[in-house]
């Protein structure tokens, strides 16, 4: 009996002793608690999360139109965004809100976990990326769910929770316009310092893409000198453009894809969230916009497909797929600098930027540099070029919001659906998307 008790004690002792290490084994090889630099990098390499941008703003913009008879086939969100409705989320969910805040969570988690890691150049890159993605997400959240930036209304409350830590049970402060843009700018400060100048993988941000994002932020804040400086910092690192004369406009997808490193202009890859509305062959380009392309403009054939009967649809994008490209590319930066330089009265420099882009876009046999005559509105000219070049990139929405502040550029957008006309006035309520019900009242649908 004694012996047996002893055996039992030994067995229990043994199992208890080795229990800790025995039970520390991971139950699934593919699961991790993200702690190492590799884990964090892998989280950032999740393209579905980090390399997307909002698309309802693209639907709500003025670049494309949809006939009333075709519109009925689309979802409530698509229909609602197209006509700037307040009630547009199916089941109270917004893909944009969820997706952008998911980017925020990933970035916050990476920054949180990297506190426990030894400093290394690799870790700097990871942290820099996380700051970039967080700035990216808040930049886009600001364009959808807050009023357009106004230097005189920095204390104005937005509806955006300003989350800077991955603790999901914390109740974060709500951003004001000022605190939102302050966070974006300080994150970009960090990103510019920590990121390496270039990257081999176009889904990963580089210092150059941080300059690019910064130029967008400064442009919408009306900081034209700052924006031009960011653009110059970007362009000093790389200013290569694609010469459209080398493309095959008749090809199904003439534009080279960014992600596969075939597109020297695309520096940071992102794509608009998928909506069947945007990839539909029923989505036609706004005739007014199409008129802006001159006959020798190679973009006219590289971007568009003529389906006959006057129906022009968009075919090309730097994604190489039916998705719209929403990343950062050199053409946009060049145009931003051109605009800023002209606004800053550096006419010749601005003109040089504009002509450099146009040289790569217009048929080389007929290309003539722009040489303005007195009284010609150069700013209008560069803005028109911006419309031509940056179609279907998700940037138009931000431009509309910022240009509406300048009466000469303000635009009323209208949709004619059957008998009904919908209007979006400059600075109208439709420029701020409602916060989804899933956020304000998660239990009731």
Partner 1 sequence: MLKIKKYLGFLCLISSFSLSGFGQDSQIKGYIFSAKDSLPIQGAIIKMDNYSSKTDETGRFTLMAVNGKHQLSVHHLTYLARQIEVTIPLAIELRIYLTESVEMLKDVVVVSTGYQTIPKERATGSFTQIDNQLLNRTPGSNVISRLADIVPGLTFNRNIGATENSISIRGLSTINSNAEPLIVLNNFPYSGDINSINPNDIESISVLKDAAATSIWGARAGNGVIVITTKQGTTGKVKISFALNGTIGSKPDLFARPSMSVADYIETEKNLFSKGYFSGAENSDNKPALTPAVDLLIALRDHTMDPVLAETKLEALKQIDTRSQVTEYLIQNSFLSQHSLNLSGGSAVNSYFLGMGYDMDRMNSIGNSSSRISFSASHNYQIINNKLELSTKLSFSQLKTRLKQLEQSISYPYAQLRDEQGSALPVVRDYRRAFIDQAQQKGLLNWEYRPLEELNLDVGDTNIANDSRVQLGLTYKPFDGFSAILLYQTARVNSNNQRLFSQESYYTRNLINYISAIAADGSILRPIPLGGIMDLENRISKTNHLRAQLVYNKTWGINSLNLIGGAEISEEEITGQTSRFYGYDKETGAFQVVDYSKNYTSYVNPSSTNNPIRNLDKLTGLDERFISYYSNAAYSLKGLYILSASARFDQSNLFGVATNQKGVPLWSTGLGWLVSGEGFYRSNWLPYLKLRMTYGLSGNVNKSLSAYTTARYIPGTLSRVKLASAQIINPPNPNLRWERNQIFNLGIDFATAAKRISGNLEWYSKKGFDLIGTIPYMPSSGFNSFTGNTANLLTQGLDMTINTKNIQTALNWNSSFIFSYAKDKVTHYEYFESATSYLNTGAYGGITPLQGNALYGIYSYRWAGLDPLNGDPQGYLNDTPTKDYGNIISSANPQNIIYHGAARPVIFGSFRNDFSYRGFTLSTNISYRLGYYFRRESIQYNDNLGLGGHGDYYQRWQNTGDENRTHIPSMPLSPNSDRDQFYKFSEILVSRGDHIRLQDIKLSYKNKLTNSRKIALSNLELFVYANNLGIIWQANRFGIDPDYNYAKLPFAVSAGLKLDFN
Residues that bind partner 1 (CB under 8 A): 1, 4, 7-8, 11-12, 15, 19-20, 22-34, 39, 42-43, 45-49, 76, 91, 93-94, 97-98, 101-102, 104-106, 108-109, 160-161, 163, 166-168, 172, 201-203, 251-253, 257, 259-260, 315, 320-321, 436, 438-439, 442-445
Contact 200, 178 (CB under 8 A): no
Give the shortest CB-78-to-partner 1 separation in angstroms: 15
* Residue placing its CB nearer to partner 1 in the complex, 12 or 347: 12
* Residue placing its CB nearer to partner 1 in the complex, 257 or 350: 257
432 Cβ neighbours under 8 A, 6+ residues apart: 144, 145, 146, 147
Can you say how many angstroms the Cα of residue 241 is from the centroid of all Cα atoms in its chain?
A: 20
Give the shortest CB-296-to-partner 1 separation in angstroms: 25
SS3 143: helix
Residue 294 to residue 367: CA distance in whole angstroms: 11
Give the shortest CB-11-to-partner 1 separation in angstroms: 5
Contact 351, 372 (CB under 8 A): yes
Contact 189, 174 (CB under 8 A): no
* Residue placing its CB nearer to partner 1 in the complex, 170 or 197: 170
Give the shortest CB-105-to-partner 1 separation in angstroms: 3
Q: Which two tokens stand for residue 148?
A: 């357009």
Q: Which two tokens stand for residue 266?
A: 């695309």
- Please provide the DSSP assignment of 139-199 as one string: HHHHHHHSPPP-GGGTT-EEEEE---SS-TTS-PPEEEHHHHHHHHHHHHHHHHHHS-S--
Q: Which residues pair with 414 in a beta bridge?
A: 423
Contact 206, 44 (CB under 8 A): no
Give the shortest CB-445-to-partner 1 separation in angstroms: 5
Give the shortest CB-372-to-partner 1 separation in angstroms: 39
* Residue placing its CB nearer to partner 1 in the complex, 42 or 236: 42
Give the shortest CB-363-to-partner 1 separation in angstroms: 23
Q: Which two tokens stand for residue 372?
A: 């303005």
* Residue placing its CB nearer to partner 1 in the complex, 3 or 408: 3
Packing angle between helix 177-194 and helix 207-220, nearest 10 degrees? 160
Residue 126 to residue 143: CA distance in whole angstroms: 26
Q: How far apart are the first and last CA of the chain?
A: 66
* Residue placing its CB nearer to partner 1 in the complex, 299 or 386: 299
The dihedral through the CA atoms of 75, 394, 433, 109 has a sign that is positive
The label of the residue with tokens 């997808």 reads 253
* Residue placing its CB nearer to partner 1 in the complex, 168 or 374: 168
* Residue placing its CB nearer to partner 1 in the complex, 30 or 365: 30
Give the shortest CB-423-to-partner 1 separation in angstroms: 25
SS3 52: strand
Task: Report how far apart, in Å, the C-alpha atoms of 147 and of each of 94, 249, 393, 401 are.
Answer: 18, 39, 21, 9
Give the shortest CB-126-to-partner 1 separation in angstroms: 13
* Residue placing its CB nearer to partner 1 in the complex, 311 or 368: 311
* Residue placing its CB nearer to partner 1 in the complex, 99 or 350: 99
Contact 203, 260 (CB under 8 A): no
Give the shortest CB-321-to-partner 1 separation in angstroms: 6
268: left (phi over 0), alpha (psi -120 to 50) or beta: beta
* Residue placing its CB nearer to partner 1 in the complex, 98 or 416: 98
Give the shortest CB-10-to-partner 1 separation in angstroms: 9
Residue 85 to residue 74: CA distance in whole angstroms: 14
Closest CA to 80 of 71, 332, 164, 169: 71
Closest CA to 83 of 432, 412, 422, 443: 422
* Residue placing its CB nearer to partner 1 in the complex, 201 or 225: 201
Residue 21 to residue 165: CA distance in whole angstroms: 31
Give the shortest CB-352-to-partner 1 separation in angstroms: 35
């Amino acid at each position: 009996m004694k012996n047996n008790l002893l055996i039992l004690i030994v067995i229990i002792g043994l199992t208890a002793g080795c229990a800790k290490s025995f039970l520390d084994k991971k139950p699934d090889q593919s699961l991790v608690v993200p702690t190492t630099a590799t884990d964090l990098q892998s989280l950032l390499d999740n393209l579905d999360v980090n390399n997307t941008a909002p698309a309802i703003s693209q639907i709500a913009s003025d670049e494309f139109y949809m006939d009333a008879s075709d519109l009925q086939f689309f979802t409530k969100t698509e229909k609602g965004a197209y006509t700037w409705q307040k009630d547009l989320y199916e089941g109270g969910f917004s893909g944009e809100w969820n997706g952008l805040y998911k980017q925020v969570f990933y970035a916050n988690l990476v920054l949180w976990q990297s506190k426990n890691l030894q400093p290394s150049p690799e870790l700097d890159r990871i942290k820099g990326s996380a700051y970039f993605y967080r700035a990216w997400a808040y930049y886009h959240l600001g364009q959808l769910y807050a009023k357009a930036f106004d230097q005189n209304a920095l204390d104005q409350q937005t509806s955006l929770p300003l989350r800077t830590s991955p603790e999901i049970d914390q109740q974060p402060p709500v951003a004001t316009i000022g605190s939102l843009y302050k966070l974006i700018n300080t994150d970009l400060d960090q990103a510019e310092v920590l990121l390496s100048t270039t990257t081999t993988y176009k889904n990963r941000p580089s210092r150059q893409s941080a300059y690019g994002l910064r130029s967008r932020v400064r442009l919408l804040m009306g900081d034209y000198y700052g924006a031009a400086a960011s653009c110059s910092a970007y362009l000093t690192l790389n200013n290569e453009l694609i010469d459209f004369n080398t493309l095959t406009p008749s090809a199904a997808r003439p534009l080279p894809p960014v992600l596969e490193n075939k597109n020297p202009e695309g520096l940071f890859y992102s794509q608009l969230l998928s909506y069947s509305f945007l990839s539909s062959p029923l989505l036609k380009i706004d005739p007014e916009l199409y008129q802006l392309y001159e006959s020798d403009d190679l973009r006219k054939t590289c971007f568009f497909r003529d389906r006959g009967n006057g129906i022009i649809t968009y075919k090309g994008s730097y994604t190489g797929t039916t998705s719209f490209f929403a990343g950062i590319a050199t053409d946009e930066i060049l145009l931003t600098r051109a605009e800023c330089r002209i606004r800053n009265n550096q006419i010749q420099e601005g003109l040089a930027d504009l002509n450099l882009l146009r040289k790569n876009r217009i048929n080389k046999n007929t290309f003539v540099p722009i040489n303005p005559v007195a009284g010609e509105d150069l700013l209008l000219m560069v803005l028109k070029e911006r419309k031509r070049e940056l179609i279907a990139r998700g940037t138009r929405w931000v431009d509309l919001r910022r240009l509406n502040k300048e009466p000469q550029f303000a635009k009323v957008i209208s949709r004619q659906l059957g008998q009904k006309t919908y209007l979006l006035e400059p600075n109208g309520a439709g420029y701020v998307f409602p916060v989804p019900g899933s956020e304000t009242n998660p239990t009731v649908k």
